[in-house]
Structure 1
Amino acid sequence: MRPLCLLFDCDGTLVDSEPLLADEMASSLNAVGLPFDAGDYIGEFRGARFRHIVAELERRHGAVDASRLEPLEREMRANLNRRLATDLKPIEGATEALATLSNIPMGVVSNGPETKIRTSLQATGLDELFGDCLFSAYDAQCWKPDPCIYLHAASIMGFAAADCVAIDDSLVGIQAALAAGMTVIHLNRFPDAEETPEGAIGITSMFQLPTVIARLSQPRVMVN
């Protein structure tokens, strides 16, 4: 029976944190002279590592004093965590889908720091479903689209990559999970603007997830 393990992205897949993140990024980046609008994150950089975004903006607009970047990121994340704790909501359908799938081992695999993952899950009441199965790229020191973060999570949870299903909304996450050799479900909440990559299964709502997982869990028919 498959799958044996479900690995969820966090931002944009389980919790609706991206508007808050984009707003805080815009405030911080504009403060150091890097032009950035909240819509730029959703449109171009969704799921990307903060330092990757900074590097790309510096390439376009000129370098920022390197000594300002660490305190800038630290302050941005502190402001974001405060807002996550009070304003964050789960993605529509996520609570219901996870309740239905709670008999399958589950983990969270995110490009964000573990403190942000924990804050997000606690604020939305999803934390008990995952326990300590939280995998941050900052701890693994590899970021999506590198597959190593998904491979790291599968290994720690004791599953082969082929026995895992990754559920992710961002293209960098889809690329990482496909490269890891996992079955991949793309939560495409913007189907008019974004296509599901080849090799991934597309859904437009988390309400659809249990049906897809049930289909994947059917025993394979062996043909002689």
Structure 2
Amino acid sequence: MTNHKPKAFLFDLNGTMIDDMAFHNHTWHNILTQDLGAKISFDDVKKQMYGKNQDLLERVFGVGHFSQEQIDQISIEKEYRYQAAYKKHLTLIAGLGDFLNQAQASGIQMAIGSAAIPFNINFVLDNLKIRSYFKAIVSAEDVTNSKPDPETFTKGAEILGVAANDCVVFEDAPKGVEAALNAGMPCVALTTMHTQEEFGDYPNIIAFIKDYTDPALQQLF
């Protein structure tokens, strides 16, 4: 853990604030294989779940396979199915509510930096009533280049008016950790979807946690 006290926390959303990535994985696997005819395993879908929905479709099928209209239709259908399946399970990862309160009381600014579309971000923030904690929200629609490009996190820090090295990113995906690294930001990695070994040796990881009850997080305050 760092001795440098951060001024801002930047949170990825899915898999980082809520433990929902298995629902995304199942929904994508069903759409890719049953609706679209892709020959892809469940585990391979898991490896492709980073960045924007369009980026995922282009990695699986190739650039130009779908029109932009088709991509938009597939993307929103996927999110409707995901939300229908996940809504009754919607809850913050253990300890996060208290952690958000502690950060706010400590004067630490907070932002969301997610590759999700606003439709999904609003689904989480409004149903869990946590929007008031965040002074900046950066979604897939706010960036040109998705993770592992640093734009999601650099834009969040810019909106908050905080330097990169004064931020700590919270992420659950290796490509998200890489985006934080490319932004020059230390990162706390959550092992909700990936094991510690799957993250490799990113030098900006300052802690691995299962959830926000981990006492190591107190060193950030």
Normalising by the smaller structure, the TM-score range is: 0.7 to 0.9
Contact 2:114 2:138 in 1 (8 A): yes
Query: How many aligned residue pairs are there?
Result: 212
Whether the aligned pair in 1 keeps the contact of 2:99 and 2:212 (CA below 8 Å) is yes
Moved more, 83-92 or 108-117: 83-92
Q: Percent identity?
A: 23
Contact 2:174 2:198 in 1 (8 A): no
Q: Which residue of 2 aligns with 1:80?
A: 82
Aligned partners of 1:140, 1:192: CA distance in 2, in Å?
Answer: 28
Equivalent position amino acid for 1:71 in 2: Q
Instruction: Letter of the 1:27 partner, please give it.
Output: N
Paired residue for 1:220?
Answer: none
For structure 1, the residue ranges without an aligned partner over 5 or more in a row are: 218-224
TM-score, with structure 1 as normaliser: 0.81
Q: For residues 131-155 of structure 1, give each alpha carbon's deviation from its aligned partner in whole angstroms, at most 9, with x where no partner exists.
A: x521113222321111111111101
Q: TM-score, normalised by structure 2?
A: 0.82
Of structures 1 and 2, the larger Rg is shown by: 1
2:103 maps to a residue whose letter is L
> How far, CA to CA, are the matches of 1:122 and 1:90 in structure 2?
12
- Contact 1:133–1:157 at 8 Å: present in 2 too? yes
Superposition RMSD on alpha carbons, in Å? 2.5
- Structure 1 position 168, deviation (Å): 0.8
Q: In the alignment, is the contact (CA less than 8 A) between 1:111 and 1:143 conserved in 2?
A: yes
What CA distance in whole angstroms lies between the structure 2 residues aligned with 1:79 and 1:5? 33
Contact 2:6 2:220 in 1 (8 A): yes
> CA distance change for structure 1 residues 65 and 206 in 2, over 3 Å: closer, same or farther?
closer
User: What's the secondary structure of 2:112's corresponding residue?
Assistant: strand
Q: Give 5+ residue unaligned stretches, structure 2.
A: none
Spell out, residue by residue over 1:5-43, the C-alpha distance to the aligned partner (whole angstroms, 9 max, x if none): 11011010001221221122122222111134444333x
1:36-67 superposed Cα distances (whole Å, 9 cap, x missing partner): 4444333x1233322222222225xx984536
Amino acid at match of 1:145: P
Closer, same or farther: CA 82–138 of 1 in aligned 2, 3 Å: same
Name the residue aligned to 1:95: 97
Write the letter of the residue equivalent to 2:36.
Answer: V
